[in-house]
């Protein structure tokens, strides 16, 4: 059995804290998220049935970096198929897992959705994947794609695939409010 001295334990604790501080420091992936910050007007299209034209809606989205630039907080307000729709999301980059992570919850359910994914090599697209056990449709897979067009335009795509391989899609354009 090896016994550590108080000095050795203190040094181990200092090294541990140094590593945690390093993992907690925002980096280039967090700067990518900060490009999504701002006040946005949205135009959304939603396809419940691929053989039918989409329903269209407009909304607003407020995004801001929080906790010292570690997370992007998003608050969305609009409507979905004539019903008021509100949602809140948090996206970050986990320095430990080297993955973008996101949570989302909204006024259409009582569930919380979890996503994980990567950015494209050019840093203009973040693709996130998740799974959820929908109360009506059963197990579903989600894919979210966020694309940065330029400083004033962003694009959003979401695809849900249910256990019978039926797809439901949503797409939107975010335009910075001036």
- Of 3 and 106, the structure prediction assigns the larger pLDDT to 106
Structural domain total, the chain = 1
CATH value at residue 157 = 2.40.128.20
Q: Which domain holds residue 50?
A: 28-176
Q: Per-residue pLDDT tens for 107-158?
A: 999 999 999 999 999 999 999 999 999 888 889 999 999 999 999 999 999 9
- 70, part of any domain: yes
Q: Per-residue pLDDT tens for 53-73?
A: 999 999 999 999 999 999 999
- 20, part of any domain: no
- Residues 70, 92 contacting (CB under 8 angstroms): yes
- What pLDDT was estimated at residue 67? 98
Please, what is the average pLDDT of the chain?
92
């Amino acid at each position: 059995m090896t016994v550590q001295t108080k000095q050795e334990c203190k040094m181990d604790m200092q090294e541990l804290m140094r590593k945690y501080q390093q993992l907690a420091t925002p980096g280039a992936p967090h700067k990518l998220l900060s490009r999504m910050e701002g006040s946005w007007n949205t135009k959304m299209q939603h396809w419940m049935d691929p053989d039918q034209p989409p329903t269209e809606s407009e909304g607003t989205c407020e995004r801001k970096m929080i906790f010292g630039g570690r997370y992007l907080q998003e608050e969305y307000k609009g409507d979905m198929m004539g019903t008021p729709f509100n949602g809140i999301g948090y996206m970050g980059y986990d320095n430990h897992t080297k993955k973008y992570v996101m949570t989302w919850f909204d006024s259409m359910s009582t569930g919380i959705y979890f996503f994980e994914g990567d950015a494209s090599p050019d840093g203009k697209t973040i693709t996130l994947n998740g799974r959820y056990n929908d109360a009506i449709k059963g197990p579903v897979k989600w894919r979210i794609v966020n694309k940065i067009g330029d400083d004033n335009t962003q694009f959003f795509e979401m695809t849900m695939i249910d256990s019978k391989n039926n797809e439901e899609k949503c797409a939107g354009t975010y335009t910075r409010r001036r």
